[in-house]
Amino acid sequence: MPNTLDIGAPRSGDLVDFDATPEVKVSLERTDKRIGLTVAWSTPDSPYAAWYLGEEVAPGLRMGGQVPKPAPSRLLFYDSHGTVLLLGCWARGYHAAISGPGSGRIWASFAVPGVRENIDFERVNGLRTEISGLREWLGISSWARREDYKTRVIELKSEFPASITAGTFEGLDINFGPARNLTKVKDDPDKQVVHDLIWCQTRSSGRLDWEEHLTVHRAIRDLLVLSRWHGESVVFNYAMRTDDPLTTMDGKTHGEQWRAVIVAEDTKATPPSGRREHLIRYGELGTQGLLRWLTLREEFGRALDPVISSIDLKSATPHTLLAHTGPGLEALGYLLFVRDGKTSGQASGMSLRARLERILADLGDCLPFDGPAWVDELVRDYNGLKHANRAAPDQVDVLNSWLRSVLVVRAWMALELGVPAEGIKSRLQQDPENKTYERRR
């Protein structure tokens, strides 16, 4: 059995907390929600019981010359298959008898198989993820397919497309690296799966927290979400530290070592059904446009976050969707006034209508619908949601206001990134979200 952590395949082994505590047997298991470790103790004066019971076991531990400590954030599990370093750990629930045995759960944010030492993998020099939709957006592939219908021959040939260097953003070097492999399907020797992949990689000279790396990865995902308005995912794959080189049995080092990373929730987004074109195309942006996006994503985060995150509210009512995204439209208008040179106080005093009209002023003739009518409708519907002394808006009107508001933000961002205005309008006219709902008669 390889050193993996598969869902529904628990492993039993030993635990190291890097604090000279006694050896203890534990169970490590990954579910579709969590990476969990179960640790047991025989008496409440155990140092492991202190992770959960705290001061309740302090007298017994202190009498033995020990100081009760909370669960460490970094733990090492090992069994006959190898080691697994658990990161971002915290104690989560326990069951114990009075003055007797008990057991508790440890949840971990990440797991890195193969690490044997107490290495701070919560700070890394490099991170690789797989962002759904990125390979298609970049327009590259590691495979070439050729079909000859006369001879009934299908040829699949691996290729080596060049990686794409996207530049540096806030000390992080960004690179897109193609990859491919061919794997057999478990329990079915007649099937093989072709994988056509691309890594999004960030590197830094100094070691940074995962979240600092992930800011770039998630921003690229958000660009793809805005571009074709389809939910995308970021899945962790590998992490690297320069002080953890690839080392052979003779003690010699052989360059960098990218460690596989496991997280509990690593579900990849499914591709959209049917044809869904991108509003923002990589060929028009290039690497400079991508860096421009990363700057805009940071500058206008308060405006973009509510709009982008609304795509995940699949079962929400129209009123919830508009209440969720409305603050983003307000923030966008406010930030544009500030960019124009107004003070924070002056921009804050602008009405909702003035803020929406400020957004519309940038768009010109980019929209596939009447812009001033959208302003009137959104002011009516959004104010109707917020203020009890206003007439409650009809849910069909609210849904249409939300759809058009999302299109407005997407069009504004495309224009900011340099997409030609005529291209924006023609693409939005064909966009699946450019629709109007009507009341059932």
Q: What is the pLDDT of residue 63?
A: 47
Q: What is the mean pLDDT of each run of 10 residues along the chain (441 residues)?
A: 85 90 91 92 84 65 60 93 94 84 92 90 94 93 81 80 91 91 78 85 95 96 97 93 84 86 86 89 93 96 96 92 96 97 96 97 94 96 88 91 97 96 94 88 65
**How does pLDDT run across 283-334, given as a tens digit for each residue?**
999 999 999 999 999 999 999 999 999 999 988 999 999 999 999 999 999 9
pLDDT for the residue numbered 184: 79
* pLDDT score, position 246: 85
Q: What is the pLDDT of residue 367?
A: 95
| CA-closest candidate to residue 220, choices 149, 159, 172, 276 | 172
The token pair at 397 is 């009107």
Which residues lie closer than 8 Å to 249 by C-beta, 6 or more apart? Answer: none
pTM (2 decimals)?
A: 0.90
Classify 88 in phi/psi space as left (phi over 0), alpha (psi -120 to 50) or beta: left
pLDDT computed for residue 49 by the predictor: 86
Which residues are paired to 234 by β-bridges? 131
N residues, the chain: 441
> What pLDDT score does 273 carry?
85
pLDDT for the residue numbered 56: 59
User: How far out from the chain centre does Cα 289 lie?
Assistant: 21
Query: Partners of 16 in the beta sheet?
Result: 76
H-only helix segments in 104-197: 134-138
Q: What is the pLDDT of residue 67?
A: 63
Please name the residues in contact with 29: beta carbons below 8 A apart, sequence gap of 6 or more: 8, 9, 10, 11, 35, 36, 37, 38
Q: What is the pLDDT of residue 62?
A: 53
Closest CA to 89 of 35, 52, 15: 35
Cβ-proximal residues to 245 (8 Å cutoff; 6+ apart), any chain? 253, 254, 255, 256, 257
Alpha carbon 400 to its chain centroid, in Å, reads 28
Distance between CA atoms of residues 178 and 260, nearest Å: 17
Q: Are 37 and 75 in contact (CB under 8 A)?
A: yes
* Phi, psi (degrees; rounded to nearest 5) at 274: 75, -170
Burial 400-418 (b: 16+ CB within 10 A, else e): bbbbbbbbbbbbbbbbebe
Tally helices (H) and strands (E) across the chain. Answer: 12, 16
Q: Tell me the residue type at 147.
A: E
Measure the CA–CA gap between 185 and 307, rounded to whole angstroms: 39
Structure tokens at 211: 């979240």
